[in-house]
Structure formats: structure tokens, C-alpha cells
Structure 1
Amino acid sequence: MSEGTYPFAMGGVSVWMDQLIRGMPDYTWDVVTMTVDGAERPVWDLPPNLDQVIAIPLWKPAPAAKAPGAGFRTPYGLFLEMVLTPAVMGEGSAEFLRVLEALFRYARDGGDLVGALTANESLAQLMDAWDGYRSEELNLADAITAGHLMGHMLRPLAEPPVRTDLTHVAMNGLSTLVAMAAKWEYGTPSVLSEHGLYLRERYLQYVNEPVSHAVRVLLLSFFRRLTGAAYVAADRIAPHSSYNRRWQVRTGADPDRIRVMYNGVDPSDFPLAESEPDEPTIVFMGRIDPLKDLHMLLRAFALVRESIPEARLRIFGGVPTGNESYHESCLALIDELDLEGGAVFEGRVSAPVVAYHAGQVVALTSISEGFPYTVVEAMACGRPVVCTNVGGVAEAVDDAGFIVPPRDHVAAAEAMTRLLKDPALRRRLGAAARHRMMERFTLRRSLDDYRAVYEELLV
């Protein structure tokens, strides 16, 4: 279960999901994915043991507002009270989980949960609750916007619960509602993975969302409560780094239910690079997304070119729907920094290994990550990496590359320049990278860890 990933999009989470399904052919899988409007089409070749793909389009046309029936007003009032009341992260998570279950039961008993959220009575209830708990103003337009958005986000509670032996959620957030519903209806055990930190990424996202301050406060408070409730609902929590584990514990997760599960790659898919390109080349491999902070990468590369004028930057990866304006801003920055011809967007590549073999150095300048495949794949190819210190990146790299602070393009440029100018250092770090990957981050080890967790819960 995930938001907007497999099999409708590429990226690290999709790679991980495909690995799990193909790597356990003795299991039959269903995939549930939150999509935009239901018009998406698979971009992956589906494995034979994938039985069905269930899409839940969050943004399909909402039903007309409908007066809420009996059983809605009380749980919605508790929902608003908890969302609008400031609290220490993790406090009240079990109570919020019970509130979500009450809203789910309302929908299962025939109530129109999505339509109720934009009914006049519910908008009035929202505004009254806001006045009781918040000092800033929430006007009617804001209330309508908030009710509309909340209806889309809670839509999974209005869908028929999935019936499986086990649910495995790829990320915290809205997709955990599907696992909660299965547990409430059928008692299904669940595993929750977290690649990046979902709540942190929502805070980063909503900085630039075109909504009012009041709506932003309401939505972020909802995500904060939902994140804590998901930690309570999960039978096992499987973060992809110790970094994520620390944050989960700090935000209310039970440490006894947490098991760190690193991503792994198949070494045969990422053979050791036997040669280097003729020109000094830096490679980026990944989706074109603000979280990857390609602006920082381009600014760093501009400094690299000052000392190595013949250097090149090759950026491999597709532009996800909705990120077109970010891609355009990167192209504009290339013009502004006079990097045309030196920095090139190559688009999607037939296989990631092609990208890693195309450069001497692989760079990742993200502002948020979990445990990125890009880093481990590049290490498998024997390429030294320059990465920002976010998520589990430093755990992956250790002494096999350079770790620099996020948003520090000067530090990144210094590390890239040093590597491009020192072939012996590249060889030493590349060999260390390959050894570290083989020792710790193979796909076989990752699959064995997940199988052990599944079997533990399915007893």
C-alpha cells in the first residue's frame, strides 16, 4: 500500500515494492495505491504473482455535500478537537486511532463520509471548533477548502476494506488508513515501512502549498495526528535506517515493535564499473523533484567548473506529473549559471546502471531521504558518492564517499572537485563502496529480513 507509486510511477519506493513481490514468488500479492483520479496506467511490467492492483483515486470528483447522518457529529467533533489541540507528538495517538475507527464505522454503516465533510452542518462544526481552540481566524472559504481537502484525504476510510492475510504499508500517511480499515474489519496484522520521514516531508511540502495559513495549520495537524496513530496501529514498524528509527521513537512509536530493515540491491544488476568516461563527469540519478534539491547540485557544479572547466554534469531521471514547473526552474538556473552544454538533463535511462557507469562521481543533494537506492546502487558499481547528510544516507556511505551538509553547495563542490582531480582517491573509495554494499546491503539479505517479519506475524 502506498501513495502514488507502484505500479503507476517510477522511483525508489516502486523499486522496493517490485523487489518484494518478485523476490517472494511463493506469496500472492495485491497492491493498493492511492492515485490522483483513476486515469493512471501502469508503467511497470507486472509480476505473475501480483494478483490485482487496487487504485484508490483520492482526487476523483467528490460527491455532493450531504447532511451527515446519525453517528457522524460526535466522532467528527472529537476529530476536530484532537486535530486543533496542540499536543506533544505521540500523545493521544491511541485516542485518535479510535476516532478514525468511528469515522470508518460511520462509512461502513452506510454514511457518506466524504459528502458529510462539506455539508453546511459540518462546516459550521469546523468553524465553531476552530474558534474554541485557535486564536487566528478561519473564514468560511477556508472552512470549505479544508472540508473539501479532508474529504479527499479520508476517502480510503470510505472504501471497502481489503481482505488479505497481512498488510504491508510502504509509507506512513494516507495509505495507512487502508491497513487500519483491514485491521478493524478483519483483524489483519500490519507492517509499516518508512523510507523517508512522511511527516517531515509534509511540512516541507506545505511551505509552498497555495492554501491559507489556517488551512495549512489544519492539514499539518491532521498529518501529525495520523502519523502517531499509524505507529500505534502497526504490529511491526520497519524503518529503512536507524536515523528514521530515532525519529519514530521520538514521535511516539513503540521501540519494541521497530526493526530497522535496510534496502538492498542485486549485485548482478550493478556490476563493478571497469572504466571511466574520458571527460570528468558527475552523475545524478533519480526523479526530478524539489526534495532532491537539484538547485543545490547545479550551484555546486557551477563552482566545480571554475576549477575544472571541462567537467560535465549528467542528470538522469524522469519528471513526475506535477513537477514540471520545478524542472523548468532547473533549466532556467542552468541558463542563469551559464552551464548550458555542461549540465544536461538526460531523461529516463533504460537501466540505472547505465547512469552510474557514465560518470566518475555520483551525487545526491537531497533535503530529505530515507535509505536511497541511488546511493547503494552507485556503491555497487564502485563509484564514490557525494551526498547530503539526510535520512540514512550517512549510514549507507560511511567511509565510502563524502557526506556534506544539506543546502551547502560550496561543501558539495569541494568534495566533487577533490574526487574528480584525484583518481587514486576515487579508486580507493570506489573499492570501499563495493565492499560495503556486498557486506551489508544485498537484496537477498533484505528479502530474508522481510520474510522473517511476515512469518512472525502470520503464525
Structure 2
Amino acid sequence: MNKTKETRKEYDVCLLLEGTYPFVAGGVSTWIHNLIKGMPELTFTAVCILASSKEKAEYKYELPDNFVDLKVIYLHDPIEIKRSIFKGISNSSIQKMREFHHRMDRGDISMMKEMVEMFRDDKFPLSELFHGKKAWDMLVDQYKPQESKESFIDYFWTFRFTHLPIFKMLPQELPKARVYHTISTGYAGLLGVVARVMTGRPLLLTEHGIYVKERKIEISQAEWVYRKEDERMRIDSKLGAFQTFWIRMFEQLGKLCYDYSSAIYTLYEGNRQLEIQEGADPDKIRIIPNGISLDNFLGLKAKGHDYMGQTEFAVGFVGRVVPIKDVKTFLRAIKIVAIKLENLKVYIMGPTEEDEEYYEECVNLVKLLHLEDIIEFTGKVKVTDYLPDLDVIVLTSISEAQPLVIMEANCAGIPAVSSDVGSCRELLEGRTVADQALGPSGIVTKVADPKSTGEAILKVLTSPILRQKMSQAGIERVKTFYKESDLNKTYLKIYKDHMAMDDLE
């Protein structure tokens, strides 16, 4: 390490973030924000990975004083590649890269440290990786022309799209920190691997949603991943060759992050099992449930609320208007409710600009269902302004981890109806024997099932005694098991324990 690097400012914690805080609002970002605020005695910085500089990047949070000097990397921005007669890839280097790929295909990551160091020593200049003959020959070898049934040109572009972001991550200069903490695997996790290799400092991983699982869902539904027309016409669930290519890449990135992490934290047992299936060492994994600030939500629903005499009802949906939240199932469920209840108001509270096409489809569905007078898209709002007037919160996501919205609703004394994803059943029915003894604080329904969702909403709204019991159970559940102050104490100890460690080999 040269003198310049030795005198760089050192932070306590460097967060490695992909598509989240502080540029994107949501449950994970709010968790990060509250974690930083809850530890004013530590200094935090971050490397934030965003898709493109063409998209407007604005802070969605007021940054805490102890969060400084964040660095932004744009994943898909083009790189200026200049050819040079003086920079090339040696035969030994290209052979090592071939060997690395062969080993990775067998699950052997033993050469990762050597690859990171070679990229950082410029032994793999991008000009040669994308235009050089030796790299071309290696790509043809990976394609296996004698065996492959796919078009080489499609393979070529798929390789470029998948590998350019990886090549961009490996040489990145990272802030100097005593601990590196990534909030996902994927590209942020790869930065964590680089940090661990180059600094020897501990790498912590916290997974809210399982990154590989979420990418599999996206890729299986994606139109941007090339599939042959005859494959698109099949009515089955088989993935195309290039969808499989993408998924395999994210699986390998996930396994790398698991292997290089000093410790892995997740939110509930279901996540832990998924991580083990993806190759994580069970001995590294610890379950730490989320927590929320009781002061912000406790008592929002008035204790003297008249459950018995109520004739007007308000339903809330809190979340981004994007496909993974399955807003369309929610809208169809509301139609079922609206047929039975006349005095109904529905608020969809969350950003609408993240997937404008999907938002427009939802708006059109509202019109098709003749729900314009009932449903309001509020955009991003302060949820606490709406919670006191709500009678039930609904979540219809097809994938979640441990959604804050349910904990917030529980704390405010509002029952929830949720699809059976992530830890939602634990949050509404209890995780331990003592937790379950409190009683349910909502109803769990099938995924993508408007009928069961609508019926559950109706049951909550039309059963005042049940709704009152659920309200009380939710308040007690959060007060007992999901306090943010407990979460912050736990992570503060984790950080201090790892900051005290000597550099790791």
C-alpha cells in the first residue's frame, strides 16, 4: 500500500449499496437510514451502485451527520475504451482467467483473490478484454461452438451485458474502513469481496430479500433477456438459454459473497434456509429480525375508536407501484370488497415513477374496474399522516422479506392482510410460542389471489370484535419483539466486535 492510500481517511463502516439508500425510498432504505441514525458514535460512508447517470439521482432522505463522503458507481454507463499497443494480456494471464472460469463452473472460488489482484494491476485492460484476440479466443472457447445450439452473436452480447458491470466493479477504489457491510449479494456483494481481498478487513452481509431469488423472478419475467421466438411461444415455465446464463451469473456472485463474508445476517428462518440452499455456510448465519421506532407509530389509532358503530372504511396499500408488489391483485381484490361495501376509500401510498409503464397499466385497470371514485394513488407520502384513518393495511407482494409496513401497521393498531411471502406469516401470527399466544394481528392469503385477498379484507372490516382484537395483538407484538432500539444495540455490538479484529488473511 502506498503512502497516499495509507493516509486516506478511515471510516468505521463502509456500506455497499445497490439501488437503495439514499436515492431510492423503501423498506430497505429506511432500515439503513434508521441504522445509521441510531449509531451517532460511528462514522459511516457508502459506495452506492445505481443503474445509469442518465436517470436523475436525488436524495430521498435527509442524510445523518455521521454519514459522509458517499461514492456513486453507475452500473450501465458506457466505458471509454482506448486501445494501446503497450497494454495487452499475457498468455499466462489469459490462461489463469480460463482456469478461473472452469473452476467457477465447478463451484471452486479459490482463484478469486488472484483475479481481483490481476484486474487491479491492470493485467486485464478493458480494451483487450473487449477487443483483443486472446480474449476473443477465450470467449469462443466458453461458447463451445461444437456443442452450442444458440446463436453466437446472441451469446456474445449476453456475455458483454453480464460481464461489463463485473469488470467495472473489480478495479474500483473503495473507501478505507474498519468494517465493510453489504446489504445484498449481487454487484454490491462483489464490491464487498473486493474490499475483503484488498484490505483484509471484515465483510458483513445483511440480506433482507434474497438477492438471487429476486433476480430469478425478474429474469424469468423479463423481456430484455433475449429468447428465441419459438421459446417465447411455448406455454411452459422453461427458461431460455440466456435467461439461464444471467441466473447462473447471479448465483455465482451470491456464492462468492457468502464465502468471503465474515458473518451473514438475515431476518427470519425462511431466508436462512434459502441462503443455505444457495451455498452459504449455516454456521455464519444469524437471524436478526427488523425493528421499528415505537414512538413514531404507537397509539396512532385512537384507543376509543368505535369499532362497533363504524359504517365507513378506509383501506391502505403502502409500497412502490411496481410488478413485484403485485398492485393489480390488490386492485382486483378491492373490486370484490367494493361490491359488498358502499362507503369505502382506498389509498395506494408509494412512488409511481419507478416503473411508469406498470403504473399506467394499474391506472387503466382502476378505470376498467370502475373504481376511480374509490381509489387514490397518493404518490410518496408521510404514511403516519394516513395511518390514523385506516382500518386495514394490505400487502399483495409476490416477494418480500420482513416488510416494515406490516410492523408499522401492527404498532399503530391496524390489522393487516398479507400474501404469504417472506416472514409475513410470522409477523401476523407469531414466530415463537409466546408470540403466537398474543393472537393474530391480521390474515395471511395466497399469493396473486384477488379472491382470497378480497374476502380477507371483508372479514376484517365487517368483524368489529375481530378487528379490535387484531389491533391489540399487533401493538403488543411489536412492543415485545420488534423494537428498533433492540436492533440498533445488536448491530452496534456486531460492528464494534468486528472493528476490533486484526486484519484477516
Deviations 1:24-65 (A, max 9, x none): 000000011101234523221111111211111112222337
CA pair 387-329 structure 1, distance change in 2 beyond 3 A: same
> Aligned equivalents of 2:359 and 2:451: distance in 1?
22
Structure-1 separation of matches of 2:259 and 2:399: 24
Residues 341-397 of structure 1: CA deviation (Å, up to 9, x unaligned): 212211111x22223223100000101011111111111101000001111111222
**What runs of 5+ residues in structure 1 fail to find an aligned partner?**
none
Counterparts of 1:39-58 in structure 2, within 5 Å, are 40-58=57-75
Give the match for residue 20 of structure 2. Answer: 5
Q: 1:290 aligns with which of 323, 326, 351?
A: 323
Structure 2 residue matching 1:48: 3-state secondary structure = coil
Picking from 298, 301, 314, the partner of 2:347 is 314
1:410-454 Cα offsets, whole Å, 9 max, x none, are 111110011111121111101100100010001001111112222
2:495 to 425, 442, 454: 454
Deviation readout 1:113-138 (Å, 9 max, x if unpaired): 54444325334422321227964314
Q: 1:156 to 1:217 in 2, by over 3 A?
A: same
The alignment partner of 1:434 has SS state of helix
Asked if 1:375 is matched to 2:387, the reply is: no
| Shift, 1:108, TM fit | 1.1
Partner residue of 2:436? none
Structure 2: state its 5+ residue gaps: 1-15, 227-239, 430-439, 501-505
Aligned to 1:61: 78
User: 2:250 matched to which residue of 1?
Assistant: 223
For 2:444 and 2:319, the matched residues in 1 are separated by 18
1:194-239 Cα shifts (integer Å, max 9, x gaps): 1111111101111214122343222211101111111111111001
Equivalent residue for 2:461?
420
Letter in 2 for 1:4: G
Alignment of 1:361-400 (within 5 A): 361-398=392-429, 399-400=440-441
Q: 3-state SS of the aligned residue for 2:316? A: strand
Deviation at 1:143, TM superposition (A): 0.6
- Of residues 329, 332, 344, the one that matches 2:376 is 344
Distance 2:22 2:132 in 1: 38
In the TM superposition, 1:56-455 aligns within 5 A as 56-64=73-81, 69-70=89-90, 72-81=93-102, 85=105, 92=107, 95-96=108-109, 98-111=110-123, 114-121=126-133, 122-131=135-144, 135-207=148-220, 208-212=222-226, 213-272=240-299, 273-274=301-302, 275=305, 279-321=312-354, 323-349=355-381, 351-398=382-429, 399-455=440-496
Describe the shift of the 1:17–1:187 C-alpha distance in structure 2 as closer, same or farther (beyond 3 A): same
Q: Structure 2 CA distance, aligned partners of 1:218 and 1:113? A: 24
Query: CA 1:320 to 1:197, structure 2 compared with 1: closer, same or farther past 3 Å?
Result: farther
Contact 2:311 2:343 in 1 (8 A): no
Does the aligned pair in 1 maintain the 2:89–2:125 contact within 8 Å?
A: no
Which residue among 9, 26, 31 is the counterpart of 2:46? Answer: 31
**Cα displacement string for residues 134-158 of structure 1 (whole angstroms, at most 9, x for unaligned residues):** 6431422431342143112442212
Q: Structure 1: how far apart are the matches of 2:441 and 2:165?
A: 44
The alignment's TM-score, normalised by the length of structure 1, stands at 0.92
Q: 1:69 to 1:429 in 2, by over 3 A?
A: same
Compared CA separation, residues 211 and 68, structure 1 to 2 (3 A): farther
- Residue aligned with 1:377, SS: helix
Structure 2 CA distance for partners of 1:370 and 1:418, relative to 1, 3 Å: same
Which residue identity lines up with residue 6 of structure 1 in the other structure? Y
Greater shift in the superposed pair: 43-52 or 148-157: 148-157
Compared CA separation, residues 78 and 342, structure 1 to 2 (3 A): farther
Q: What TM-score does the superposition give when structure 2 sets the normalisation length?
A: 0.84
**C-alpha RMSD of matched pairs (Å):** 2.1
Contact 2:297 2:408 in 1 (8 A): yes
430 and 165 in structure 1: CA distance in 2 versus 1, 3 angstrom threshold: same
Please tell me the residue identity of whatever aligns with 2:75: L
CA 1:255–1:120 in structure 2 vs 1: closer, same or farther (change >3 Å)? Answer: same
Question: Following the alignment from structure 1 to structure 2, what is the Cα–Cα distance between the partners of residues 65 and 411?
Answer: 59
Report deviation, 1:68: 5.3
1:114/1:151 contact within 8 Å kept: no
Decide whether the 8 Å contact of 2:47 with 2:174 is kept in 1: no
Contact 1:156 1:177 in 2 (8 A): yes
- Change in CA separation of 1:151 and 1:363 when aligned onto 2, cut-off 3 Å: same
Instruction: Report if aligned partners of 1:142, 1:214 keep a CA contact under 8 Å in 2.
Output: no
Q: Report the Cα offset of residue 293 of structure 1.
A: 0.6
* Distance in structure 1 (CA, Å) of the matches to 2:375 and 2:204: 41
